[in-house]
Amino acid sequence: MLVTSQALVLPLIKAANDPTITQLGAAVPDHRFFPIRAIQRAQSNAARNHLADAINCSFPPGLPALRRQITRRMTEFGCAILPNEIVITNGCQEALTLALKAPTNPGDIVAIESPTFYGLLQVLESLGLEVLELPTNPRTGISVDALELALTNWDVKACVVVPNFSNPLGFCMPDENKQQLVDKLASHQIPLIEDDVYGDLGFGGKRPSACKGLAGNRNANHDIYYRGSFSKTLSPGLRVGWIVPPRKQHKKIEYMKYVLNLGTPTTSQMIVADLLSNGSYQRQLRQVCQKYSVAVNRMTQAIVRYFPAETKITRPEGGFVIWLELPVHIDSISLARDALKLGISISPGPIFSASQKYQHYIRISCACVWSAEIEQAIVTLARLIDLPNK
């Protein structure tokens, strides 16, 4: 199936930049969750001590100091890689475009989770790729049995997953399931495109493994494209992410990145490298995971209190979004439009699916600083949901 109708998403994303709107829609945390002072210090340091480099272009694969720091972090959670395997990108979104372009051509089929992050659907749409949406369990992730069936019956060229604190379901795939997924794809020689953008944001303390780490060197010929980003931990505006492609695709990815935009802004890369090396990143993680966890709980409590009793809510183990199943008669696209007119943005379910399923679902971002205004927004949403019953 070809992906269409993702244009619906643009008003939602624009709302994220509008200070008059209560932001429950885009997965963009309030700036108060980010380490503003540490970023300021790192920015001044770059301007004061490294200005000549900072205003120069940093061509792919990106700043060596940043790639060394990312290597160190990835090694800590079981991904033994080298700095020269990394290409720095403008966030995870650009890494996704690169990862999809390398193994596919327009018209090819890609297997994805359902529901899935709408940014993935937009990239698939823009590359003219077809999708196969596979059932995804809100606790254990993509169904490996359904994947087996898909690989047997369709000429699938790649499989994209968000195994750690997925968006929108919030689950963390158990290691056993990750291993099954990796083995299944390896046995069919289908590339795995792993999105680990929320991997550092678990509420439980221990950093979950990545499929890339679990795969290790067991299947040296199996292609894994690992992607990460600092958008949910440090700041989305820095636009710093990265990709670790299979070794044989590294040159191709590096060249495609160069052709796309010559390189990721140098100052942003310097800031992130600085925060990783001076311990600020680790400190930020300890604080922000705790804050996201509190924010998710608080939002969940308000929804339980005000929304209709039949509303079902996910219990994410990390990240900051929740996925709600509303009464079946609710049209979440109309609900999102009506809410926006009243100054509240939410994400309607159908934008998380190529076939526009999830008509009575919504996703709420909880990464807002709790206030009377947020509580009032939940009350207003509850009233809108209740209207068709009146």
Q: Which residues bind ligand PLP (CB under 6 A)?
A: 27, 91-93, 117, 119, 162, 167, 195, 197, 229, 231, 236, 241
* Residue nearer to ligand PLP on the CB measure, 177 or 365: 365
Alpha-carbon distance values, 104 to 27, 85, 101, 115, 130 (Å): 28, 21, 5, 22, 10
Report helix, strand or coil for 66: helix
Phi/psi of residue 361, nearest 5 degrees: -115, 155
User: What's the token pair of residue 148?
Assistant: 């087996």
Q: Could you give the maximum distance between any two Cα atoms of the chain, in Å?
A: 65
Minimum CB distance to ligand PLP, residue 28 (Å): 7
Of all helices (H) and strands (E), which one includes residue 109? strand 109-114
Minimum CB distance to ligand PLP, residue 116 (Å): 8
User: 201 near 289, Cβ under 8 Å?
Assistant: yes
Minimum CB distance to ligand PLP, residue 82 (Å): 23
Minimum CB distance to ligand PLP, residue 352 (Å): 11
Minimum CB distance to ligand PLP, residue 247 (Å): 23
389, with CB counted inside 10 A (0-12, 13-18, 19+), is exposed
Give which of 150, 154, 111, 151 is closest to 133, Cα–Cα: 111
* Residue nearer to ligand PLP on the CB measure, 39 or 186: 39
* Residue nearer to ligand PLP on the CB measure, 162 or 190: 162
User: 295 near 144, Cβ under 8 Å?
Assistant: no
Question: Going edge to edge, which strands form the sheet with 141-142?
Answer: 87-89, 241-244, 224-229, 192-195, 156-161, 109-114, 130-137, 141-142
What residue is closest to ligand PLP based on CB? 91
* Residue nearer to ligand PLP on the CB measure, 24 or 197: 197
Minimum CB distance to ligand PLP, residue 348 (Å): 16
* Residue nearer to ligand PLP on the CB measure, 92 or 99: 92
* Residue nearer to ligand PLP on the CB measure, 236 or 316: 236
